[in-house]
Structure 1
Amino acid sequence: MTEHQHDDQDIGRNIRRIVIVGGGTAGWMSAAYLARKLRHLPIAITVVDSSAIGTVGVGEATVPAIRDFFEAVELGEPEVLAATEGTIKYGIRFVDWAGAGKSFFHPFGLYGVPARDVAFHHYWLKLRAAGHEHPLSHYCLATQLAERSLFLPPPDRVVNDLGVFNFAVHFDASKFAAMLRRLSMANGVAHIDARIDHVERDGGHGRVVAVTTADGGRIEGDLWIDCSGFRSLLLGEAMAVPYRDWRRWLPCDRAIALPCRAAGPHKPMTTATARAAGWQWLIPLQHRVGNGHVYCSEFISDDEAETVLRENVEGEVLAEPNRLRFTTGHRERFWEGNVVGIGLSSGFLEPLESTSIVLIQSGLERLVKLFPDRGMDPRLAKTYNQQSVLEFERIRDFLVLHYAANKRLGERFWDAMRTMELPGTLQGRLDAWRAGGEFVRHEWDTFQDPSWLSMYAGFGDLPARHSPLADQFSTAELTDTFDRMRAAIGATLQHAEPHAAFLARNRSRAA
């Protein structure tokens, strides 16, 4: 066999047809991403969804990785902000989690500057023990921008860690999906608006061959992307992949979403406020505020949960409540045969840290790196599944920490969360932190050291001592250095503009 013949044979095995089942955020993110990444290959991409079936569409907050997605699909951030009524997000404020009247911030940025191979937080702990009263938040530029309602883009080059920060966006999820739909179809993606009646599998491998629609159509595919939401039409129903239930660690199982008018300008942050049996989100957009109550049905009724939400929105309600029921966890396998689950079809981790959209993104990135041919080598799926499970477990541990570290004493839900047995991986992280202020890092961590530090400090869960290596500097030397850090952050803030002014300028430029 010649080299040319071998190439032709390989090409004959290549994927020719990708079918994405379901639209919404997951479906159209998948279509837009695959259309760009596979544009030089002869692959037909089709999205099949039904306009008669609603989408969840409440995921309006993201993490900074969304900026990489914009770049990958060749969308500009100003364009996205204008088309989706978007706003800037520098992190999440947690209100009343550490006790009534207390709040702290999880920023998208670093704290302070390390020195002589010793992390900044050890010097901060040393000064704190000596009576230094400045909180950790004074040493993070992202936090200060958020608190002052300012916007400043991250610099291309930074002098030191004080200048390292990032931002994410809030957007109207339905407007974002519509934007991606237009982009995808402009890039050659086909769209079929139809309800799927039947999934056809072959008798040998059990792979999905085709779907038939309510109007009698038949759609064939080689690779199937399940974006059918909680129903999990392909991965869960057709392929019968079991679900791994994590409610023993994350027992919130319901949510109510309710948009309202804004009472005034908002800071560039998401707000998560603890309630008696869960928590409430507030996500500011340009045209409205997104609100939602995530709760555990074992501790509060649906009617009571809705009342709590309605009593705690700031303006006129703009729509009927959108009620969701869910089970935290994931499918045991994210890729089965020739089906890959993306988004809610593969698993769900409650929206406490805005991870739903980044999990869609990472699933797509992973799929392209491990892209199969029609032979569907099971070793690719095995690798994909191992990495996906690890990513879910890492995020799970970070979310569980929010609940387990709470300081809301005397409330049944919160008392139960504080006393539960933790996943072993999370307990290991806590042990290393409490013993010596050390961060344990794992493969496929989504949240890095500064995120964990913001939680530990926010909940007052601090090591009993700083590292002995922090004694390389005297208290006086550190006091002077810390004063200069705060001054440097203050000087940088002078170059920022009001968040509202930035949005107005962006709107006028896009008009």
Structure 2
Amino acid sequence: MDQQTIRKVVIAGGGTAGWMAAAALARQLGPLLDITLVESEDIGTVGVGESTIPTARTFNALLGIDEPEFMRATQATFKLGILFENWGEVGDRYIHSFGQVGKSTWMGGFHHFWMQAKAQGFGGELGDYCFELKAAEQNKFFTGEESPLNYAYHLDAGLYGRFLRGMAERDGVRRVEGKIASVRQRSTDGYVEALVMESGDVVEGDLFVDCTGFRGLLIEQTLKAGFEDWGQWLPTNSALAVQTRSTEPAVPYTRAIAHKAGWRWKIPLQHRVGNGLVYSNAHMSDDEAKDLLMGEIEGETLIEPRLIRYRTGRRRKTWDKNVVALGLASGFVEPLESTSIHLIMIGVTRLMQLFPFAGVSQAVVDRYNRQADDELEKIRDFIILHYKATERTDSPFWDQVREMDIPDSLAQRIELFRQSAQVYQAPGELFQVDSWLQVLLGQRVTPQAYHQMGRLMPPQQLKQALDDLKRNIAGAVTRLPQHQAFLDGYCAPPVSRSA
């Protein structure tokens, strides 16, 4: 018996979020749905989210995307982590890698053994025991059946949207060009029933996906879902983005370089470099930010710097009535840990898992919203950590974030680590133990004590175990090719030949 009442899905807005939703829904649920995407070529997209985390590989695999083809189409490079500079203090550098640090046991994390070794006068740097971190430091990379490297991508978000659009349209998604003039709601319950275009055309649907960016045309302007502001913890609200021509081989990591009122990014692609400056306009003027950015970038500029205003926080309801918000329409936690594209991916994945074929039910809506809220709060805390755990005293911005009150959930985690070196990954949390560990130590949070399990090993045995692990990782890194050389052979775009 066919109980399906939700068949027509209408996606409002294109860009990365819209076409990711369209491609995923069409590829996984296509035979059961009629999918339409509405977008206007006249409305620009933010499109600066060019850095991803390893979940992007899982999403691409779910869609059956061939990696070299995808990388050629999006001019992508590989990413092993993020190099943070000037965060704990001016001059500090550390890498938050995607790798596992050492070998942990059921009793506790590897870092407890390492801290015992340090107390006994050996052990070196914690990063010596992470394959991905050491490969990133030496600009090395390889992927294949025999490679254990955990990685993500740097990509051109505009080209990624175009790539997914082609895939979605081949899978049957209908695209409607034009601007939305108004949103028509049912008089009985306020559910959205159609988008009225400026042309006069009407696009009707059963379920609507809002990918209209910060303005949230459906979720906020129409349904008034509400917004929870997180500016008291994440005070940056502006970004300048500019593209430059590459001047050196691409490195397999993003750079996040703190400055006196925020930070700037540098993301290497195959054909260019994405650069940007994130700042609080209460602490730095737009002109000052532009001068700082343009004074730091390298290579010929390919576009004029573009100013983006944003507000950190989330919708109070990500799913309201028959509207699901994805991407910037659902909220924004700033791009520091490259989570924006992940949140689109997990949002549409969750929608597919909970798809309301028999009609929208409040229980399903509540479940979706609880999961979305829980994950976003944990990501928020991880990003706040980078600001709160600093010893910088060189500007009013860093004084403000160093002294600010933070959510209890984060304060407890920091204090737990400071008192006992204990770190954990909560259920449903994106960032793993190794991520928390690398950032806490990198931001100068020093534990006062640690688990004593390392004392169960004689010092010479502990030293030998650590030396062997360090030597194995160093040897494996030595055998890897340079990142740029591997890119050139794996996914470089074909050379165009003039007639």
Could you say whether these structures have the same fold, taking a TM-score greater than 0.5 normalized by the shorter chain as the test?
Answer: yes
Q: Residue in 2 aligned with 1:432?
A: 416
| Structure-1 separation of matches of 2:148 and 2:399 | 37
| Structure-2 separation of matches of 1:79 and 1:155 | 18
Q: Residue in 2 aligned with 1:492?
A: 476
The superposition leaves residues 260-289 of structure 1 with CA deviations (integer Å, 9 ceiling, x where unpaired) of 112211320000000110000000001111
Query: Which of 196, 213, 226 is the matching residue for 1:212?
Result: 196
Q: Residue in 2 aligned with 1:393?
A: 377
TM-score for both structures, normalised by structure 2: 0.97
Distance 1:508 1:119, change over 3 A: closer
Structure 1, unaligned stretches of length 5 or more? 1-6, 157-162
Counterpart amino acid of residue 39 in structure 1: G
How far 1:112 sits from its partner (Å)? 0.7
Query: Which of 36, 43, 49 is the matching residue for 1:46?
Result: 36
Q: Residue in 1 aligned with 2:27?
A: 36
Counterpart amino acid of residue 11 in structure 2: I
1:142 aligns with 2:132: yes
Q: Residue in 1 aligned with 2:86?
A: 96
The superposition leaves residues 328-377 of structure 1 with CA deviations (integer Å, 9 ceiling, x where unpaired) of 00000000000000000010010000000000000011111111035311
Indicate conservation of the 8 Å contact 1:222/1:374, yes or no: no
Q: Residue in 1 aligned with 2:67?
A: 77
Query: Which of 143, 155, 159 is the matching residue for 1:175?
Result: 159
Q: Residue in 1 aligned with 2:488?
A: 504
| Structure-1 separation of matches of 2:234 and 2:492 | 43
Q: How does 1:122-133 map to 2 (within 5 A)?
A: 122-132=112-122
Range that drifts further, 370-379 or 263-272: 370-379
How far 1:506 sits from its partner (Å)? 2.1
Range that drifts further, 453-462 or 346-355: 453-462
Q: Residue in 2 aligned with 1:189?
A: 173
- Kindly tell me the number of residue pairs found equivalent between the two proteins: 495
> Percent identical across equivalent pairs?
40
| Structure-2 separation of matches of 1:224 and 1:459 | 42
| Structure-1 separation of matches of 2:106 and 2:383 | 32
| Structure-2 separation of matches of 1:239 and 1:491 | 58
Counterpart amino acid of residue 229 in structure 1: G
| Structure-1 separation of matches of 2:428 and 2:100 | 20
Q: How does 1:435-446 map to 2 (within 5 A)?
A: 435-446=419-430
1:449 aligns with 2:433: yes
1:463 aligns with 2:447: yes
The superposition leaves residues 382-429 of structure 1 with CA deviations (integer Å, 9 ceiling, x where unpaired) of 000011011110000000000011222231101111111110100111
Indicate conservation of the 8 Å contact 2:79/2:152, yes or no: yes
| Structure-1 separation of matches of 2:385 and 2:104 | 25
How far 1:130 sits from its partner (Å)? 2.1
- Note the aligned Cα RMSD (angstroms): 1.5
The superposition leaves residues 478-497 of structure 1 with CA deviations (integer Å, 9 ceiling, x where unpaired) of 11111101111122124321
Q: Residue in 2 aligned with 1:120?
A: 110
Distance 1:180 1:116, change over 3 A: closer
Indicate conservation of the 8 Å contact 2:30/2:172, yes or no: no
| Structure-2 separation of matches of 1:392 and 1:116 | 28
The superposition leaves residues 143-162 of structure 1 with CA deviations (integer Å, 9 ceiling, x where unpaired) of 11111111122756xxxxxx
Counterpart amino acid of residue 63 in structure 2: V
Q: Residue in 2 aligned with 1:109?
A: 99
Indicate conservation of the 8 Å contact 1:404/1:420, yes or no: yes
| Structure-1 separation of matches of 2:122 and 2:103 | 17
| Structure-2 separation of matches of 1:492 and 1:358 | 30
| Local SS of the residue matching 1:299 | coil
Q: How does 1:39-438 map to 2 (within 5 A)?
A: 39-41=30-32, 43-115=33-105, 117-132=107-122, 134-153=124-143, 165-373=149-357, 375-438=359-422
How far 1:508 sits from its partner (Å)? 5.4
Counterpart amino acid of residue 268 in structure 2: P
The superposition leaves residues 66-107 of structure 1 with CA deviations (integer Å, 9 ceiling, x where unpaired) of 001111111111111111111000000001112222200000
Indicate conservation of the 8 Å contact 2:83/2:253, yes or no: yes
| Local SS of the residue matching 1:311 | helix
TM-score for both structures, normalised by structure 1: 0.94
Indicate conservation of the 8 Å contact 1:78/1:510, yes or no: no
How far 1:116 sits from its partner (Å)? 6.5
How far 1:441 sits from its partner (Å)? 3.2
| Structure-2 separation of matches of 1:432 and 1:407 | 19
Q: Residue in 1 aligned with 2:18?
A: 27
Distance 1:274 1:389, change over 3 A: same
| Structure-2 separation of matches of 1:471 and 1:243 | 51
Distance 1:311 1:126, change over 3 A: same
| Local SS of the residue matching 1:443 | coil
Distance 1:381 1:85, change over 3 A: same
| Structure-2 separation of matches of 1:256 and 1:494 | 38
Indicate conservation of the 8 Å contact 1:145/1:152, yes or no: no
How far 1:433 sits from its partner (Å)? 1.1
| Structure-2 separation of matches of 1:138 and 1:273 | 23
| Local SS of the residue matching 2:99 | coil
| Structure-1 separation of matches of 2:479 and 2:216 | 48
How far 1:498 sits from its partner (Å)? 1.2
| Structure-2 separation of matches of 1:31 and 1:221 | 14
How far 1:139 sits from its partner (Å)? 0.6
Counterpart amino acid of residue 78 in structure 1: P
Indicate conservation of the 8 Å contact 2:37/2:173, yes or no: yes
How far 1:187 sits from its partner (Å)? 0.6
The superposition leaves residues 210-229 of structure 1 with CA deviations (integer Å, 9 ceiling, x where unpaired) of 01111111000000000000
Structure 2, unaligned stretches of length 5 or more? none
| Local SS of the residue matching 1:488 | helix
| Structure-1 separation of matches of 2:486 and 2:416 | 42
| Structure-2 separation of matches of 1:112 and 1:80 | 32
Counterpart amino acid of residue 46 in structure 2: V
